[in-house]
Amino acid sequence: MKSFECQHAGVVCSAKVSGETEEEVLAKAVEHARAVHGVDLSRSTTLANYARSRIYDDPGAS
């Protein structure tokens, strides 16, 4: 299982998204960023790549 947390990317937000693959987590993070933060990560490869770099292996995620 892999996870991404907004706070690990320097955002004041307690959201955590998880998924089986990095691509699944990134898709959920992109949707969260758009819906909650008003940021379209799909339009910025720099931000999307940074978000991808903050995805981590999370054996405790369900």
CA 3-52-39 angle, 5° bins: 95
Q: To which residue do tokens 């369900």 refer?
A: 62
Confidence at residue 62, expressed as pLDDT on a 0 to 100 scale: 66
pLDDT tens readout for residues 3-39: 999 999 999 999 999 999 999 999 999 999 999 999 8
pLDDT class of 43 with cuts at 50, 70, 90: confident
Query: What average pLDDT does range 30-53 have in this prediction?
Result: 90
Q: Cα–Cα distance between 45 and 14 in angstroms, integer?
A: 23
Indicate if the alpha-carbon torsion angle 33, 36, 37, 39 is positive or negative. Answer: positive
- pTM over cut 0.85: yes
3-state secondary structure of 21: coil
Proportion of the chain above pLDDT 70, given as a percent: 98
Strand partners, 50: none
Task: Give me the residue spans of the domains in the chain.
Answer: 2-57
